[in-house]
Structure 1
Amino acid sequence: MGMKNSDSHQSMTQHKADIFAFDRLSVVQPFWTGFDTAANHAGLDDNVFLHAGPAFSSVESICKPILNSAAVGAVFEGIADNLDQAINMLMAGEIELRPAQDYGVVTPLAGVVTPHMPLHYVYDGNHGRTVCLTPINGGNGAAMRLGQCSDAAVAHMRWINGPVLDCLAAGLGEGLELIPFASAGLAEGDDCHGRTIAATQFLVNEIDSRSKGGIANEEVRAFLNQSPSMFLNLWMAASKCIMMAATGIDGSSMITAMGSNGVDVGLQVAGLPGLWFTAPAAPPNGHITDGLDETRKLGAIGDSAVVEALGLGAMNITHSPEQMKALGNFLPADFADRITALRGCEHFDFTVAKPPIGITARSVHDYGAAMVIALGIIDSKGELGRIGGGIFDPPMAAFNSALSALEDAK
């Protein structure tokens, strides 16, 4: 339970470094301008794959869903002939897994980014200081983010990065600023994480209108219309792009990275770039498929936590009636107080809906509890994929460690 101090949000405005950090965040204009690869953008080696959250302590500690997704990625890349060979290569250390956010990439749930996978390229169109890449959302079906090891997942990945990629690229044109889609979606009841239905429809309509003769591939058109989370990955990249603008501000506790790998949750702060502060990741508090044992709930997983770290998602849930219906019973009793206390101020480009954004480790410390995060719940055995959804309440230890390190760095 937090301190419920209605004035605790003032902690951000009382620290000059955090004021400066918010000023940086409030003018970022994330644009989606095309596609790139991690190999090209970040120089990723062919045997290095990227995952959500902080690094694993060892090969043996890698959770099964991420191991499965990495195997799917290895077959997709052509460095393994089949999934069994891919698993053996991973366990032998021939394929290395590293945190995606260390490379300016975000990936959902158990999804793994491979070196030559086409990624959305999102950059700050205002100052051009920050760039973030993210995979195309896999929609419904055998999506890689679900952490299942199957030939169907490989085939789906090839289709997403083939016909779907082609249609998106054809309709993108000169690029799209993403905040207007998010702002309009929020006004229609989205939260920009667990619910992106309206923003996705606005996005698909725009792609369709920019495509000569409309989206010609009927299978892709049907897929986009039946995939209500297509905007999510783009907004993850946009959120990270905004947060990254504060990176390197001496003494700032603005959160610039947040994610979980199914074992540990981690965050980074602006004043200590590149340093992860971690704690064990419990499973989200939520309902799972009837008949399943609670042990099937994997610990919190995914880089989508950057949305809440920016201040949206479950941190804007009071403006999303459908999300409140779905997750309200799993929220901590003081969630409304946290929403008020932890978020900063408005971003200039949010015009339809104007949510406060920006969360600092200082505000979390002063209040006594962290942001609430909405997450899908993944099968720990890597067999069933998504088995539910719920609310993750990050442990204070990671935030306190970050603040202690900032103090030591003075």
Structure 2
Amino acid sequence: MHADATAVTSMPSEQFFLARQPILGRDQKLVAFELLFRAAPEHEDAQLTDYAAATATVIAHASQLGMEQVVGEQLAFVNVDEVVLKSDFVRFLPPDRVILEILETVDPNDQVLARIRELKELGFKFALDDVIGHSEQVSKLIDLVDVIKVDVNAISREELTCLATSLRDAPQKLLAEKVETVEEFHLCMELGFEYFQGYYFARPAILSGKKISPSELVVLRLLELIGSNADNAAIELAVKRDALLSLNLLRLVNSRAAGPDRHIESVSQALVQLGRSQLQRWLQILLYSTPDGRVELNSPLLQMATTRGRLLELMSLTLRPGDVAGAEAAFTIGIMSLMDALLSLPMDRILDRVDVSQEVKAALLDRAGDYGAMLSVAEELEGKQCGRRLSRALDKLGLSIKQIREIELAAFDWVRGLGADTRVH
């Protein structure tokens, strides 16, 4: 089955969600995203038969927008079934930016093997999905793929150990998927896996007796001062108490200052130049920075937090145009929603230190109200199974699938551009 460009771009795209899941390297930095195409709940029965249409639609979107907007500097893993493999529209993808992930449903017949070899000659790389043992499919495809994805939830620890050991000397890289706990991650590290996919890094590992570090305390104190509308002198004094924070603030403002002759040398000038709203946003992002104050956009937790923040902000502005305060609260909820994972503290203890409204607290603690529904939408879009919970949250808010996909792409693009706007090193 072949599909030409006209067929792809004319396919109905309203009924599919675009999600992406982060893929991390052994250093816990982002290396790729898997792009996931989910049918809307009312079309779930047709999800498998419509898979090629969903893939074609997102490939067309990615081609029109540019893969960079969807995944930034990272690689994209794109699932392909036999129909997609044999189609012409797969050629719309840039070979140097994607890894084609062969689904476990693909029959490695002679035609499929020939097509994979043809695409490899064009520069495409391949991954084999959901490997749980040495099947006939694996034996026929293993020499043609670059990455082997192992579903760690589908097999026992002993089976995982045996499988990883048998593949350890193979030239292919091993990727552990559905890694949901830190213990699973450590086991896969020991077994020689190169890549990791799953939300283990975003799970709050609550530690008894854990204390917030001095630098985190400074940022949280400043956020509390801003939230309580403290005067400029109190905010300036709090910034000046931390030399690194003062230095980074001056660097940030001078990187944004208008004109080559405009150089800001005092903290008080910097605070005026930046303004309360931007200072609050910068501090929220800075919480996820490295100990020396660098914002590294290949940190998966920072990517998730800032994406959530921007998603909620754009949802809020779509629903309540002109409500700047509401949009700022939405951004705060999104970016704070992973602070329990960041600080290894329960969310209620963190919220005791930051002055936020009851509406913000209710969203963060109970996913309550409109903001809670927005946060639920963001969480569902992170590559989990986009299903009825997502649709219910969208219905509650009055947002369409088309609107949320446009908001999502705009959020991805904004996060990608953060490097220039939050340069704190």
TM-score of the alignment, normalized to the shorter chain, above 0.5: no
Higher helix share: 2
Higher relative contact order by CA 8 Å / sep ≥ 6: 1 or 2?
Answer: 1
TM-score scaled by length of structure 2: 0.25
TM-score w.r.t. length of structure 1: 0.25
Larger Rg: 2
Tell me which protein shows more strand as a share of its residues.
Answer: 1
